[in-house]
Amino acid sequence: MDSPKAVIYARVSSMGERQSTERQVADLRRYASATGLDVVAVYEEKASGARTDREQLAACREFLESGGAQHLLVTELSRLGRSLRQVLEVVDELTARGINIFFQAQGLNTIVDGKPDATVKTMVSMFGAFAELERTTIVDRLQSGRRVAIEQGRFSPGRPKGATLSKEKLLAR
């Protein structure tokens, strides 16, 4: 008998080289191996969890909904989204199709013994609300830091204004 199929979805917020999905993928591959799941696809993304137009998450959902796998593995609930509505949309849609979502950090499976777990849905709602609160806190912290930097003259919001060369010198180039 074939092993149940799983996909991994990993996301980091930072576009630069400062963050990587490597650790998430490695952790989830270890989990899959230990539990007898066959990882058939990995979707990795560098995008804010607040965005609703994440291409890799959309591709992952499409693959799952087409029957490509029965399990979605993510390291933590906030990888699916930073708003409770986003997270619940993904969880409700996939669970209704019989696809289990495993949240590693929380140790939760949305389907237990072949049926959706109501207790897990409640937990997902709570953790989703916490993810949304965390996103709000991050935004508040960034805005506060900008205000202080502006007050201290260390930050000038917006783009630099105008060219530094005269019109004649600029056209002569």
Residues β-bridged to residue 15: none
Average pLDDT along the chain, 173 residues, taken 10 residues at a time? 90 71 93 96 80 84 94 90 81 92 92 86 76 74 77 70 66 69
pLDDT the model gives residue 64: 95
pLDDT the model gives residue 8: 96
Listed by start position, the domains of the chain span 5-134
Residues β-bridged to residue 74: 103
Name, in order, each residue with C-beta under 8 angstroms of 6's C-beta and a sequence gap of 6 or more.
32, 37, 38, 39, 40, 69, 70, 71, 72, 73, 102
* pTM attached to this predicted model: 0.73
13 is an active site residue: yes
**Counting Cβ atoms within 10 Å, is residue 78 exposed (0-12), middle (13-18) or buried (19+)?**
buried
pLDDT the model gives residue 173: 65
Closest to 134 measured CA to CA, from 81, 62, 96, 65: 81
Instruction: Provide the CATH number for the domain formed by 5-134 in this structure.
Output: 3.40.50.1390
pLDDT the model gives residue 130: 74
pLDDT the model gives residue 84: 79
Catalytic residue among 13, 14, 78, 144: 13
Residues β-bridged to residue 11: 45
pLDDT the model gives residue 41: 96
pLDDT the model gives residue 1: 62
